[in-house]
Amino acid sequence: QWYQRRVRGAVREHVYDGCRLGVGSGSTVVYAVKHLSALVNTAGFKVTCVPTSFQARQLIIENGLHLSDLSQTPELDVVIDGADECDPFLNLIKGGGGCQLQEKIVAACGKKMVVIADYRKKSRELGEQWKKGIPIEVVPMAYVPVMNKLRSFGLDPVLRMAQNKAGPVVTDNSNFVVDAKFCQPHNWDVLETKLSRTPGIVETGLFVDYASVAYFGMEDGSVSVVHKPVLK
């Protein structure tokens, strides 16, 4: 119930008639899309939905919502997505499901990004709860030199292997995923710049300065709302 409560609160507060909405990936999106569908049917809202993944696309279709894409709807009013971890500054680690490239592209097209997660994703520092590292999408031919470069940044890279097939995980974009583990906090803005300048890296699951507000479903059933701090 608390999970659905935080989803309902986020959808009701940020989605409105005529809204152009980015729909994220993962477990959160299932509840968000179902509640969005109910809101559209009861309130008569017209909402245009742009998905970040195949999963999100299918959910939008199955729930009878208006499906679009960035070629038709390149500017979004709100993006609702989950996170694998979130710190007090709303820096995020995303991409546990391997959709970090599409998620970041859609997030960058939104005027506002709203994060919905449970209390286990709320951390004082990135890496406190999420121990699998930063998901990094890599061009297959470059994964070895990229992993060497990541080690020079103080990271411990591991090529993500598939569970139900032999070989590595392959993303929707036909790339590999390297999970870059770390033992201590970094200056995330600086690290993101280093990663983005590394040839062979397509995109990272480190989301710095994207989220505006986060809704956390707490263990006691309450919902904690965290707004992005205003730096003076």
List per-residue pLDDT tens for the chain, 232 residues long. Answer: 556 666 777 888 899 999 999 998 767 778 888 888 988 888 888 999 999 988 899 999 999 999 999 999 999 999 999 999 999 999 999 999 888 999 999 999 999 999 988 889 999 999 999 999 999 999 999 999 999 999 999 999 999 999 888 899 999 899 999 999 998 888 999 999 999 999 999 999 999 999 999 988 888 777 889 999 876 5
Whole-number pLDDT of residue 55: 87
> Rounded to the nearest 5°, which phi and psi values hold at 78?
-140, 145
Cβ-based neighbours of 88, under 8 Å, separated by 6 or more: 124, 226, 229
Cα separation of 193 and 79, whole Å?
Answer: 23
Whole-number pLDDT of residue 2: 59
Picking from 128, 143, 146, 152, the residue whose alpha carbon sits closest to that of residue 175 is 143
Cβ-based neighbours of 71, under 8 Å, separated by 6 or more: none
- pTM for the model stands at 0.92
Whole-number pLDDT of residue 5: 67
> Rounded to the nearest 5°, which phi and psi values hold at 92?
-125, 150
Cα separation of 127 and 123, whole Å?
Answer: 8
- 103 labelled catalytic: yes
> Rounded to the nearest 5°, which phi and psi values hold at 115?
-105, 135
Picking from 141, 68, 149, 79, the residue whose alpha carbon sits closest to that of residue 107 is 79
Catalytic residue among 103, 137, 192, 203: 103
Cα separation of 24 and 171, whole Å?
Answer: 16
